[in-house]
Amino acid sequence: MVRKIFCMFGLLVLSTVVFAEPARENPAIVPAHKNNDWTMRYLAINERVRQGNADLIFIGDSITQGWDGGKEVWQKYYGSRKAVNAGIGGDQTQHVLWRLENGNIDGISPKAAVIMIGTNNSNADEYTAQEIGDGVIAVCNKVREKLPKTKILLLAIFPRGQTPSPQRDKNAKASEIASKIADGKMIHYLDIGEKFLQQDKSISADIMPDYLHLSPKGYQIWAEAIEPKLVELMGEKKK
């Protein structure tokens, strides 16, 4: 009787092992291409990079691409710094990884790269905070691999939504996870999220009209917040 029970228990354990759910591969760290409209922007970035003269590069999604709409602020802070805007709307970490592997940073060696990516991975429940954080880390590692002399300024994912929400919390957790890659030498981490918030943690439409993308006032806040660190990383003299 004892032997029979033992055998049944053994079969139960065996079946548990055999039919266990396989671990999911994190899509946020697997380079992925997108659609035709995206390809046009990606190719335009490649063309800009081929021209050289790139001492500074911003890498990200539509919030980074939106510097095109904040041209006065961009010109004021980055016009003389040979800056490249490598942001594409809708990008998730895996799309940035694909671009970095396929020309967006080839043949250049900027003094600094500003990275802010991950908010599009947080839409719905497709990704966990851990997966998003790992995706951001993968982007940083790819930049370090291809641009070993470039110092990275990794920014926490900006707050979004008019008021605090689970999505904000997920992005904050993902940023905290990603921040662990910062070594204070080649990778520096900076969270400027509070700069966009009011005292009650809400976001003003004056700064983010749709509570995600920045207005010119929002880009001014961004530029001012990172300027001291950027001066340091680029080896410039303080003004």
Is the separation of the CB atoms in 140 and 164 below 8 Å?
no
Does domain 26-233 bear CATH number 3.40.50.1110? yes
Helix axes 129-146, 166-178, angle to 10 degrees: 40
Is the separation of the CB atoms in 173 and 136 below 8 Å?
no
Q: How far is residue 200's CA from residue 239's CA, in Å, rounded to a whole number?
A: 34
The DSSP symbol for 197 reads B
Give the strands of the sheet with 112-116, arranged side by side. Answer: 83-87, 56-60, 112-116, 151-155, 187-190
Q: What is the pLDDT along the chain (239 residues), one digit of tens a residue?
A: 444 444 444 444 444 444 566 778 999 999 999 988 899 999 999 999 999 999 999 999 999 999 988 899 999 999 999 999 999 999 999 999 999 999 999 999 999 999 999 999 999 899 999 999 999 999 999 999 999 999 999 999 999 999 999 999 999 999 999 999 999 999 999 999 999 999 999 999 999 999 999 999 999 999 999 999 999 999 998 76
End-to-end C-alpha distance for the chain, whole angstroms: 85
Predicted TM-score (pTM) of the model is: 0.90
Q: Single out the catalytic residue among 55, 91, 210, 215.
A: 210
Whether 215 is a known active-site residue: answer no
Token output for 84: 């490249």
Whether 204 is a known active-site residue: answer no
Q: Single out the catalytic residue among 33, 62, 200, 202.
A: 62
Whether 15 is a known active-site residue: answer no
Q: How many CB atoms lie within 10 A of CB 56?
A: 21
Q: Single out the catalytic residue among 179, 191, 204, 213.
A: 213
